[in-house]
Amino acid sequence: MNPLQWLIPWETSFAIAAVTAITAMLFIKGSLRCKLLFRQKLYFWAGLLSLYVVSHTQIDYYAEHEFFVHQLQSLVLHHLGPFLIVLACPKDALSAGCPVAVKRLIRKVSAWKPVQDSIKVLFHPVTAVTGFVGLLIFWLLPSIHFIAMLDWRIYRLMNWSMVLNGLMFWGVALNPDSIRSPGSRISMMLSVVPPQILIGALIFFAPHELYPIYTLCGRAFTGISSTTDQQIGGLILWTQGAMMSVIGILIVIRKELRQPLMER
Amino acid sequence: MKFLCVALMLALISCNPEKQWQLHEIIGHLPDLHFSLLSDTGQPVTEQTYQGYLVMLFFGFTNCKAECPTTLFRLANIVRRLGDHANRTRILFVTLDPGHDTPEVLQRYLTAFDAGHAIGLTGNEGAIEDIAKRYRAAFRLKKSDSGDIVHSAAVYVFDPQGHARLLITPADTTETVEDDLRHLLDSFRP
């Protein structure tokens, strides 16, 4: 396949194209007004681009037809992409890039009591951890996974929910704020590790095919058996999911160690 | 909002206590039958051509050594067991190797299994990719003569109105498939 052909979306989604383009435009506009560090820009573009590439190119075909590629896609959608975007702290730039009317609307909506209450609940560390692990387990339940890979609407819902949940979780865990202590943020990242290791290991050691939908719809690579595919997929979740938490924890610790120096 | 409806639908389906089908039920999850291809007699055909028939659709290629002949043999056997219902049933075999599987090759191949009810379908790459993508079936064009062709193992069952209803898997027994197909055909008595 010609390298450019890889960029053609396997299944065109107006929503993915529009959200990516709007976010990119807001960031470009905003970064002209705000002073951003080079690494902030680098993290943001790497995050946004990685989300786009795994969901709106030919890679999506392989994610639909090979379990381990699907796991790699989920890793980017739920972990790496949102992690990088949050690490870039793009809130100020995105807000500066927003038209005044939209900013006013956001301010109005976020001042509304029920919205504030829901944000408080959704962004509570316990809810964030439960939501993060719960969503991961939900989409990997064999009966749910079967339908998600068959029905394109549920497939899209799965991918969108992973990105939004990822942004929420890493947003709470990585960004320093006045409400959550570094300790509680580190505990958040630590507590999502064991469930991911456990699910990954359960998939890896499963004696039978947990996700026959890949055989039914056809696997992308003929040389990889269904067992090997499932084992690689389990291994990815087992090791890589936990690794993102470790990186996150190191970043929080590093920021905390630097804090007193900067204050002095 | 659309996603919320789908999530609700998913929740409702998973709590449905009256599951009357033994095969995988896919109603509402895959789109209605729709294609524009060439039949093994060289005629252009669409889903309209098979309106009123129970359609068993599957993807393969005539050079396939194991899965395709096994599936075709099994489906032909099931159709025979349906007795009077057989005339209201069609097996549609969509080739994933259009370069090799011309209408003539397909006709010769399918006659060996069931000349009356099995129909081979071919077309240009775009048309085949469209139908494979529509039913989430793997399809990558073959690069060389030696290259393997990936293909799905499922048989998609459409009711006489063209709605996707059931999925036959290699694990389902002939009796199970026959029972469900009979049941489906009975509910669409002409």
Task: Kindly report, residue by residue over A209-244, the tens digit of the pLDDT.
Answer: 999 999 999 999 988 999 999 999 999 999 987 899
pLDDT at B144 (0 to 100)? 56
Report d(CA B55, CA B46) in Å as an integer: 12
**pLDDT band at residue A264 using 50, 70 and 90 as cut-offs:** very low
The overall average pLDDT reported for chain B is: 88
CB contact under 8 A, A153 and B6: yes
Q: Is B63 strand, coil or helix?
A: coil
Q: Which of A226, A205, A206 is nearest to A215 (CA)?
A: A226
> Which of A151, A162, A215 to mutate: most B Cβ within 10 Å?
A151
What is this model's ipTM? 0.85
* 8 Å CB contact of A65 and B150: yes
For chain A, the average pLDDT equals 92
Domains and CATH numbers, chain B: 23-186 (3.40.30.10)
Q: Which residues from chain A sit within 8 angstroms of residue B3, using beta carbons?
A: 153, 156-157, 160
CB contact under 8 A, B7 and A220: no
CB-CB neighbors (< 8 A) of A152 in chain B: 136
* Chain B residues inside the 8 Å CB shell of A160: 3
- For residue B130, pLDDT over 60 is answered with yes
- CA distances B143 to A33, A87, A220, Å, are 50, 42, 14
Establish if B125 touches chain A: CB-CB under 8 angstroms.
no
* Cβ contact, residue pair A220, B138, below 8 Å: yes
Contact residues on chain A for B14, CB-CB shorter than 8 A: 143-144
DSSP B142: -
- How many angstroms separate the CA atoms of B60 and B73, rounded? 13
- Mean of the pLDDT values across residues A165-192? 90
C-alpha dihedral (B1, B2, B6, B11), degrees to nearest 10 = 10
**B59: buried, middle or exposed (CB in 10 Å: 19+, 13-18, 0-12)?**
buried
Give Cα A5 to chain centroid, integer Å. 25
Contact assignment for A218 to B151 by CB distance below 8 Å: yes
Asked if B138 lies within 8 A of A153 by C-beta distance, the reply is: no
CB contact under 8 A, B10 and A149: no
Q: For residues A47 and A94, is the Cβ–Cβ distance under 8 A? A: no
Predicted confidence (pLDDT) at residue B182 exceeds the cutoff of 70 = yes
SS (H, E, C) chain A: CCHHHHHCCCCCCHHHHHHHHHHHHHHHHHHHHCCCCHHHHHHHHHHHHHHHHHHCCCHHHHHHHCHHHHHHHHHHHHHHHHHHHHHCCCHHHHHHHCCHHHHHHHHHHHHCHHHHHHHHHHCCHHHHHHHHHHHHHHHHCHHHHHHHHHCHHHHHHHHHHHHHHHHHHHHHHHCCCCCCCHHHHHHHHHHCHHHHHHHHHHHHHCCCCCCCHHHHHCCCCCCCCHHHHHHHHHHHHHHHHHHHHHHHHHHHHHHHHHHHHHHC
How far is A180 from B134, CA to CA, in rounded Å? Answer: 47
Q: How far is CA A177 from CA A10, A259, B171, in A?
A: 40, 13, 54
Contacts of residue B16, defined as CB under 8 A and 6 or more positions apart, other chains included, come to none
Q: Pick from B3, B13, B29: which is nearest to A150 by CB?
A: B29
**Cβ <8 Å between A216 and B152:** yes
Average pLDDT of span A176-201: 90
Q: At A255, list the tokens.
A: 């920021």
| Beta-carbon separation of B138 and A222 below 8 A | no
Rounded-to-10 torsion of CA A159, A153, A140, A175? 20
Do the Cβ atoms of A154 and B153 come within 8 Å?
no
List all residues 6 or more positions away from B43 whose beta carbon is below 8 Å from its beta carbon: none
Contacts of B133 in chain A (CB under 8 A): 10-11
Q: Which of A73-77, A182-186, B123-127, B141-145 has the lowest mean pLDDT?
A: B141-145
Category of B57 on φ-ψ map: left (φ > 0), alpha (ψ -120 to 50) or beta: beta
Q: What is the pLDDT of residues A63-120, one digit of tens each?
A: 999 999 999 999 999 999 999 999 999 999 999 999 889 989 988 998 889 998 998 8
Mutate which of A144, A153, A226 to disrupt the B interface (most B C-beta within 10 Å)? A153
Mean of pLDDT values over B43-55: 96
Least confident of A55-69, A165-179, B73-87: A165-179
A-to-B residue pairs, Cβ atoms closer than 8 angstroms:
64
**pLDDT at residue B162 is higher than 90:** yes
Tell me if A65 and B29 make a contact (CB, 8 A cut-off). no
> What is the residue extent of each domain of chain A?
7-263
Alpha-carbon distance of B102 to B108, in angstroms, equals 10
Q: In the sheet where B89-95 sits, what is the strand order?
A: B24-25, B164-168, B155-158, B54-60, B89-95, B118-122, B36-39, B44-46
Q: Based on the number of CB atoms within 10 Å of its own CB, is B137 exposed (0-12), middle (13-18) or buried (19 or more)?
A: buried
- Which of A10, A150, A153 is the closest to B26 by Cβ? A150
Contact residues on chain B for A147, CB-CB shorter than 8 A: 10, 13, 29
Q: Residues A82, A166: contact at Cβ < 8 Å?
A: yes
In A, what residues contact B, Cβ < 8 A?
Answer: 10-11, 61, 64-65, 143-144, 146-147, 149-154, 156-157, 160, 212, 215-222
User: In which residue are the tokens 């990822």 written?
Assistant: A166
Q: Most A CBs within 10 Å: which of B150, B151, B165, as the mutation test of the A interface?
A: B150
The predicted structure's pLDDT at residue B11: 55
The percentage of chain A sitting over the pLDDT mark of 90, rounded to a whole number, equals 74
pLDDT for residue B143 is more than 80: no
